[in-house]
Chains A and B, each alone.
Chain A
Amino acid sequence: MDKSHEVIIAGFGGQGVLSMGQIIAYAAMIEGKEVSWMPSYGPEMRGGTANCIVIVSPGRISSPIISRFDSAITLNQPSLDKFEHAIKPGGFLLYEISTVITPPTRKDLDILAINAMDEALKLQKKQVANMILLGAFLERRPIIRPENVMSALKKVLPARHHHTLPLNEQALQIGRAFASQSEVAASFQP
């Protein structure tokens, strides 16, 4: 990775949006990269909007404030509507499809939809939907090495939840497998 990558991850509070960003940030830090993780969330309640901007860079990050992203991962319709148009042309949009009625329309993006909620329920743990999305994202945009994701997760996840690490790893693999089997849309012209 010789240039910086800026990703926004957005959804409802409780979906693991901020954690996904933390995992990326930790993993990138393990690799010696500069990182910035900037959270933003709505009023003081569960179910409010939440997003975080993560910048991973080989060099110094002067400003964590940006308005155009290389990638976006969205976990609900409002986030998709809001951030689809904030992605740079040729960028990557990954979205969770079970919460979406109106799909994205841009033709100049690599767009991947995944039913992460369904896949997570198959594992009988809806909380790992974010890890499925993270797996899919990293398959398409390998900004950090997969082996560092699990080390990062150990840092982010409180010790009392460490028994779920194998399940999280499984979820990550499901996401990666899904993304590797999905074609980049034929209409996509970077």
Chain B
Amino acid sequence: MALRLRTGNQMIAQGAIQAGCRFFAGYPITPATGIFKTMIDELPGEGGVALSAPDEISAVAYCIGASMRGVKAMTATSGPGWALMTESVQYAVMTETPLVIALVQRLGPSTGGATQGAQGDVLLAEFAVSGGYTLPILSPSTAQECFDLTILAFTWSELLRTPVVLLSDKEVGMTAERVDDDLLRNVTSQDRLQWRNRSGGLEFMKPKTYGTYSFDCVQEIPAFTPVGGEMKVTATGSAHNKQGKLQKNSPETLEVLKHLEEKIRWRENDLVKVDADIQNGAKILVMSYGITSRAAKDAVAESRKRGIRVSFLGIQSLFPVPSRTITESLQGVGRVVVAEENLPGLYRSVIERHCNGARVLGVNKIGSLITPNDILNAVQS
């Protein structure tokens, strides 16, 4: 055993390095600074570049530039920084640029409570893209999951050619836990499909067939070629055709816009990551994510001790919504309890429609953590 005491933030940085991330740019912000610091300390030693950017807008823009050049890139921020980044995140969506953004939530609105945890950015993160395009979101609840899900976030972002949000929170990010290095999976992330690998070498390709975003069917992920490489790359945040050329309302442009969503929707059943503990005959299903899912797990264990049959579904892939998994977990369930650290029940509002008429109950709180007891009370009510 090789034991270390590591925070969730440190494990996100370690996961990123393991995934092959070789570019990081960030602007320090509590509670995400641990990722920034670890990357600045450790990435240069791995042959990568870690930059302290003048602000969040530059930070994410630097990352997009690095990724367009073919380097796996990540930035890390919290709610206020995310607010600044959204314009460029949309640009990454539009230009199909792989990118991982670790968003470590704190209490909002605005600068809110820098040192207070919250799970209030769930929908702010997901619906940051004009037009309602799916941003895949992964949400870890332990230091170990921070590592695993960061690698997965890179795989998704590379394979889908889209930004992926790693939605952590202050407690997950700053709580230090025992991590056994021997148990960390020795995997790296998968890489984006390169144009030159598609048919065995660039020299055999006919340049005319290449477009920056060429696809035959709308769900297909275009093969990548780096800016500054052998092929001409045209990237724009404006509506464009498959060549990347600005165009207004042409059928091809509309097809590209449809493609941006379809490439993710079509694969949504492969983009499912949950921590399911389903009990036969359970009438109640407890759902949660992030730090609160740990309290929920405790509450489920305690409920079972008291003879209540209850299932647990911790959701790590918040978006695309794992609707099929949720529906499957609902067999015989009459009541669903959704626990999250925000007042309106943000994620509850999204999954309610998948709950097949079961009564959906929220456990919500801000300012302090939701305890196992809070959830237990809702289970027993």
Contact = CB atoms under 8 A, between A and B. Distances in A.
Interface string A86-118: 000000000000000000000000000000000
Interface stretch (B171-179, B188-196, B353-361): B171-179
B171 A38 contact: yes
B369 interface: yes
Given A62-B297, A63-B297, A38 B115 contact: no
B171 A63 contact: no
Contact of A41 (B3, B115, B301, B371): B115
A29 B3 contact: yes
B122 interface: no
Nearest to B113: A43
Contact of B301 (A37, A40, A61, A62): A62
Interface string A45-74: 000000000000000011111110000000
Given A63-B295, A66-B371, A37 B5 contact: yes
A33 B113 CA distance: 33
Which residue among B297, B369, B370 has the maximum number of chain A CB atoms within 10 Å of its CB? B369
B298 A63 contact: yes
Interface string B269-292: 000000000000000000000010
A64 B373 CA distance: 13
A25 interface: yes
B298 A62 contact: yes
B309 interface: no
B227 interface: no
Contacts of A62: 294, 297-298, 301
B48 interface: no
Given A38-B171, A39-B174, A65 B294 contact: yes
B177 A39 contact: no
B1 interface: yes
B5 A35 contact: yes
Interface string B34-54: 000000000000000000000
B114 A65 contact: no
A64 B175 contact: yes
B115 A36 contact: no
Interface in B288-341: 291, 294-295, 297-298, 301
B30 interface: yes
Contact of B178 (A29, A38, A39, A41): A29
Nearest to B171: A38
B175 A38 contact: yes
B372 A25 contact: no
Contacts of B295: 63, 65
Contacts of B1: 32
Contacts of A39: 174-175
B177 A35 contact: yes
A19 to B, nearest CB: 12
A45 to B, nearest CB: 10
A83 to B, nearest CB: 14
Contacts of A37: 5, 175-177
A22 interface: yes
B370 A65 contact: yes
B140 to A, nearest CB: 14
A81 interface: no
Interface string A9-46: 00000000000001001100110111111111111100
Given A25-B5, A40-B115, A43-B115, A65 B177 contact: no
Contacts of B174: 38-39
Contacts of A29: 3-5, 178
A67 to B, nearest CB: 5
A44 B174 CA distance: 15
Given A37-B175, A63-B372, A32 B3 contact: yes
25 contacts: A26-B5, A29-B3, A29-B4, A29-B5, A32-B1, A35-B177, A36-B176, A36-B177, A37-B177, A38-B171, A38-B174, A39-B175, A43-B115, A44-B115, A61-B177, A62-B298, A63-B295, A63-B297, A64-B177, A64-B294, A65-B298, A65-B370, A65-B372, A66-B372, A155-B5
Closest 3 CB pairs of A and B: A63-B298, A63-B294, A37-B176
Given A26-B5, A33-B178, A43-B113, 18 more contacts: A22-B5, A22-B176, A29-B3, A29-B5, A29-B178, A32-B1, A32-B3, A34-B178, A35-B5, A36-B175, A36-B177, A39-B175, A44-B30, A44-B115, A62-B297, A64-B294, A65-B291, A67-B371
